[in-house]
Amino acid sequence: MEDAVGPVLRMCDDLELVIRAIQEDNPPESLEVVDRGAYVRVQRPGLLRVTRASLQRHLGADFEMSQLESMVAAFAGRIRTSSDEVVWYLQTAGSSPPEGAMP
């Protein structure tokens, strides 16, 4: 996939639920989930977002964004985190980050 951004997720009990939350927050036609056995890469071109609201719908109301950190082994692109969402985005030389992706 060209210009892919997104997380590389460690295998864990909640992996499928995290993937469902990411799928909920992104257009399904552009999202790719690649299972590598020891990890799963979730990616799409340019921008990928996951919100606290979708994570809490799938993982429970007590899920905190900081818990996502321990599940992410690596990522492609740049990242912006807040208490409400995590955004991975592509920024090339001379381009501006997508709206809402400024740190």
pLDDT in tens, 21-37: 999 999 989 999 999 99
CA distance 79 to 26: 16
- Residue 97 predicted with pLDDT over 80: no
pLDDT tier for residue 100 given thresholds of 50, 70 and 90:
low
Domain boundaries of the chain, sorted by first residue: 4-89
Question: What are 43's strand-pairing partners?
Answer: 32
Class of domain 4-89: alpha beta
CA distance 73 to 53: 22
- Residue 98 predicted with pLDDT over 90: no
Q: What is the pTM of this model?
A: 0.87
CA distance 59 to 56: 5
- Residue 89 predicted with pLDDT over 50: yes
CA distance 69 to 82: 12
Q: Which pLDDT tens digit goes with each residue over 45-84?
A: 999 999 999 999 999 999 999 999 999 999 999 999 999 9
Single-letter residue type at 20: R
* 85, 90, 95, 98: CA torsion to nearest 10: -30
